[in-house]
Chain A
Amino acid sequence: MRAEVVKATVRALQEAETSLQAWVLQRIEEAAQRETNSIARSHLEFMLENVRIAERTRLPLCQDTGLPIFRVQMGRDLRLDFDLHEAVAEGVRVATECIPLRPNAVDPLTRKNSGNNTGPGMPDIILDMVDGAGLTLTAFPKGAGSENMSLVGMLNPADDPFDFILRTVAERAANACPPLFLGIGLGGTFDLAARLAKRALFNMPGSSPEELELLARVNRLGIGPMGLGGDCTALGVRIERSLCHTASLPVAINFQCWAHRSATEVIR
């Protein structure tokens, strides 16, 4: 089964790096049709053309092929006789060579590049236990442009979290390759809020009244594609929440660029 995990990792990365899911493309197409700003509209159309080129050539749609982030949903009845993290890491190394991916992973202090996108802490695997005996692996390669703009705020419970989110988006969106998908983590602790925000990206898009209202408010900012102005600043908002301490209000915003890359492989 280890070999299957390695292969599934390579396939998921190949798919995620060279195409976008149909619902993501549909959101960009709809935004292009609605857009009234001509620079913004031409940007959205160029983004769609870029995805078509990537799909045709099987080459990465963005040169920032990201850090290797994965969600693994593992059946409770499954027993693994190998190290899951090591198997996924091997898949990342193979994918780096054969897709190919840009080597992005460096030591935070020496800045020395590991050369194969793996090493201490990488890949990052977010593991969930589910019913059954299967294993589902989803690749979410995450680029730095949008990740760098992300933020955790430890707010005063008297603060309005949506004001904080809107102010942060107004200040930072232009550098995060809008139109954006915004993963919001509400509550929990300092680190849980950040993880909830990442999970919100996995569970994109949201459709609750709060999520839709926040999406509309973000789009009224007029930041537009690549920060050059326009009607479309975000394509989706998802909020994940957790209880928090009565004295706390953690809020995390994980920015995701327009190229919301992901692909899933199921191993039975």
Chain B
Amino acid sequence: MTEYHLKTPLCVADVDMLHAGDVVFLTGHIYTARDKAHALMRKSGSPVSLQGAALYHCGPLIKEGRVLSAGPTTSGRMARYTDEILSSGVRAVIGKGGVPGEPFRNRAVYLAFPGGCGAAAAMQLKVCGVHLQELGMAESMWDFVAKDFGPLIVAVDAHGGDLYRDVRASAQKTWKD
């Protein structure tokens, strides 16, 4: 378990050195996207370049341009979009609960932020801008500037490591016994 402090946009070398169980803190731009933003991007593309981007599954609570609470939402709902999101250049997907790990191989990581910790996350994030605002507060694509955003656990790495898969397999085995 190694701790890394990285800057976005991320490059292949950044992703390559990370292994499941490592802890990452991110500084730089982070874009939020959840259900509606993903559906819209599938139809008409992303309003921002996603090359090297960190995409955060998050529907924040914002008031007057200030982040008040911004923890992760359940990534599983967005799993159907993983392949196209990673193909558009995203190097890190941030969320909770995980998504199937296969699409991440050789190109990206999935980072888990502790769920429910929206107040702590808000301390590390500032609003830089907003896209797709017509989707409403939770579903807009917020452009955050992060300072040491974390702890982010590398839950799925680019080398086939996947903490959720391992934990699920072990839980299934325990249940069947």
Interface set of A (CB-CB < 8 Å, partner B) = 38-39, 42-43, 46-47, 49-51, 53-54, 57, 59-65, 100-104, 111, 113, 143-145, 148, 166-167, 170, 173-175, 177, 220-229, 257-259
Q: Is the CB of B112 within 8 A of A63?
A: no
Which single member of B118, B166, B171 contacts A60 (CB below 8 Å)?
A: B118
Q: Is the CB of B117 within 8 A of A47?
A: yes
Residue of B nearest to A230 (CB): B167
Q: A46-B117, A166-B175, A221-B174 are in contact. Are A177 and B96 (CB under 8 A)?
A: yes
Q: Is the CB of A177 within 8 A of B123?
A: no
Q: B4 on the interface (CB 8 Å rule)?
A: no
Q: B13 on the interface (CB 8 Å rule)?
A: no
Nearest 4 A/B pairs, CB to CB = A63-B118, A63-B69, A50-B117, A175-B97
Q: A145-B74, A148-B74 are in contact. Are A226 and B63 (CB under 8 A)?
A: no
- Chain B interface mostly: mixed
Beyond the given pairs A61-B118, A223-B168, A226-B112, 6 more chain A to chain B contacts, judged by CB atoms under 8 angstroms and listed by A's residue number, are: A47-B116, A60-B68, A64-B73, A100-B63, A174-B167, A221-B175
B43-51, B54-62, B80-88 - the one binding chain A: B54-62
**Could you give 21 example pairs across A and B, Cβ below 8 Å?**
A46-B114, A46-B120, A47-B116, A53-B119, A59-B68, A59-B119, A61-B116, A63-B59, A64-B118, A100-B63, A143-B116, A144-B74, A145-B96, A145-B97, A148-B74, A221-B174, A223-B168, A227-B164, A228-B112, A228-B153, A229-B163
Q: Which residues of B sit under 8 angstroms from A50, Cβ to Cβ?
A: 114, 116-120
CB distance from A89 to the nearest CB of B (A): 20
Which single member of A59, A63, A101, A225 contacts B114 (CB below 8 Å)?
A: A225
Residue of A nearest to B117 (CB): A50
Q: B65 on the interface (CB 8 Å rule)?
A: no
User: In chain B between 111 and 136, which residues have their CB closer than 8 angstroms to a CB of chain A?
Assistant: 112, 114-123, 136
Interface residues contributed by chain B, number (CB under 8 Å): 45
Q: A145-B96, A228-B163 are in contact. Are A104 and B138 (CB under 8 A)?
A: yes
Q: A50-B119, A102-B137 are in contact. Are A62 and B96 (CB under 8 A)?
A: no
Q: Which residues of B sit under 8 angstroms from A102, Cβ to Cβ?
A: 59-61, 69, 137-138
Q: Is the CB of B96 within 8 A of A226?
A: yes
Q: Which residues of A sit under 8 angstroms from B76, Cβ to Cβ?
A: 175
CB distance from B137 to the nearest CB of A (A): 6
